[in-house]
Amino acid sequence: MIGGSQDAFIGAVHRKAANLDGQIELVCGAFSSNPEKSKATGASLFLDPKRVYGSYEEMIRKEKALPADQRMDFVSIVTPNHVHFGPAKMALENGFHVIIDKPMCFDLKEAKALHKLVEKTGLVFGLTHTYTGYPLVKEAREMIKKGKLGKIRKVFVEYPQGWLSTFLEATGSKQATWRTDPSKSGAGGAIGDIGTHAANLAEYITASPITEICAQLNIVVKGRKLDDDSSMLLRFENGASGILMATQVAAGEENNLNIRVYGEKGGLSWRQEEPNTLEIKWLDKPKEVLRAGWGYLGDVAKQNTRVPSGHPEGYLEAFANLYRNFANAVADHKPGKKIDPAKYDFPDVADGVRGMAFVETVVKSSASNQKWTKLKI
């Protein structure tokens, strides 16, 4: 692992998720740019002190020097956005598979460079867009792919949070400080942090890419350097139109990511805060409520369900599904032969490029007087 020291939030989430199936073992790490903090984190995780490193460069060099059956198999990168590209590039260049927290990079240029490197090396590359790991999100995608809702016409996706409703970065909050700093987060604030999740979810469930955007970015809290609120119109390749809202100044909201998709025959809706329920509304028959864990769900949803019906299943399990699917791809990988990420069902480097293109397009659209801005990769 690169990043994820004792005082970091997302690193611990990754470690718990990766460990859930007992197929992935944390064997080494460079957990902080501060060597002492990295050593302390390694000690708290009971790692061999010789394999707790002061920098990611040291870790990759020394792990590569170990015999093949003793070195790490892949790298998990959980640093802030501006420290994604360097370690990912070095890991790939030295023959290590990579899984990385979203958004993939600092900007689109870095994302394209990583895409080329993944294509060149043929190594496995995963991106943790967590919400694609939920069983009922996968059920929704399968329903649409099979044409059960007919031609898709309309998409509404929202991600309201309220944690940045005040000038939190002035209080010393580590999470708020780097996420609102353009030198660390990149060109997007809320749109890069949670807007990319909303866009990815819409593209994943509809199995159709966003092609054009008409966006407005706002900075609501005085003194903030990056957007904390956004609204936009979307056009999809399949002809559907959509609306996306991502905000971190909706006071009182937690992580209320939700999506509604409507086709000719009916529509579906799913909420991250109630992830075990998928509602289907039909044009000519009563509403259906699907629940996780039941035998009537499709095979893909079943394969990504971990607990019996009626038991809470959520964020960590969805995260773990991505890690398990990624680990399966790593286990199946053969040198010189590329794997098909679609077979294993986890977001990959192409999704990462789309995410950075989405941020760049939204920023460009918001600054333009032109109604529509094409999303170009």
52 and 178 inside one domain: no
Tokens of 26: 């944390």
Cα torsion at 342, 153, 260, 100 (round to 10°)?
Answer: 30
Query: What is the average pLDDT value for the chain, to the nearest integer?
Result: 96
Task: Tell me if 320 is assigned to some domain.
Answer: no
Does residue 139 share a domain with residue 264? Answer: yes
Q: What domain range includes position 42? A: 10-131+325-348
- Whole-angstrom CA distances from 173 to 180, 223, 255, 262 are 11, 15, 19, 40
165 shares its domain with 223: yes
- Give the pLDDT of residue 337: 81
* pLDDT exceeds cutoff 90 at 19: yes
Look at residues 136, 130, 125, 142 and name the one whose alpha carbon lies nearest to residue 341.
125
Q: Which residues have a Cβ under 8 Å from the Cβ of 333 and sit 6 or more positions away?
A: 97, 123, 124, 339
Q: Give domain status of residue 150, yes or no.
A: yes
Give CA–CA dist 185/82, Å, rounded: 6
Residue 278 and residue 141 share a domain: yes
Share in percent of the chain as helix, strand, coil (round to 5):
40, 20, 40
pLDDT 10s digits, 254-310? 999 999 999 999 999 999 999 999 999 999 999 999 999 999 999 999 999 998 999
In angstroms, the CA 129 to CA 152 distance is: 23
Residue 83 included in any domain: yes
C-alpha span between 304 and 13 (Å, rounded):
18
35 in the same domain as 159: no
Confidence at residue 123, expressed as pLDDT on a 0 to 100 scale: 96
Q: Alpha-carbon torsion 328, 331, 332, 333, what sign?
A: positive
Residue-wise pLDDT for 192-239, tens only, equals 999 999 999 999 999 999 999 999 999 999 999 999 999 999 999 999
pLDDT score for 360:
96
* Same domain (yes/no): 53, 30: yes
What region, left, alpha or beta, does residue 147 occupy, with left being phi > 0 and alpha being psi -120 to 50 degrees?
left
For 42, half-sphere exposure in the C-beta direction (CA atoms, 13 angstrom radius) is 24
Q: 116: part of which helix (H) or strand (E)?
A: helix 108-121
Confirm whether 63 is domain-assigned. yes
Q: Does residue 28 lie within any of the structural domains?
A: yes
Indicate whether 341 and 292 sit together in one domain. Answer: no
Number of independent structural domains in the chain? 2
List the CATH number of the domain containing 103. 3.40.50.720
Residues 280, 299: one domain?
Answer: yes
Reading the block at residue 308, the tokens are 């019996």
Q: The dihedral of CA 94, 96, 101, 104: what is its sign?
A: positive
Same domain, 155 and 192: yes
Residues 66 and 167 in one domain: no
Asked whether residue 168 is assigned to any structural domain, the reply reads yes
Residue 294 lies in a domain: yes
What percentage of the chain has pLDDT greater than the value 70? 100
- 142 and 126 together in one domain: no
Beta sheet of 125-128, edge-to-edge order: 74-77, 97-101, 125-128
Q: Residue 96 half-sphere exposure, CB side, CA atoms within 13 Å?
A: 28
Report the residue count for the chain: 377
pTM: 0.94
The encoded tokens of residue 9 equal 């939030």
Domain of 268: which CATH number? 3.30.360.10
**Is the domain of 79 the same as that of 122?**
yes
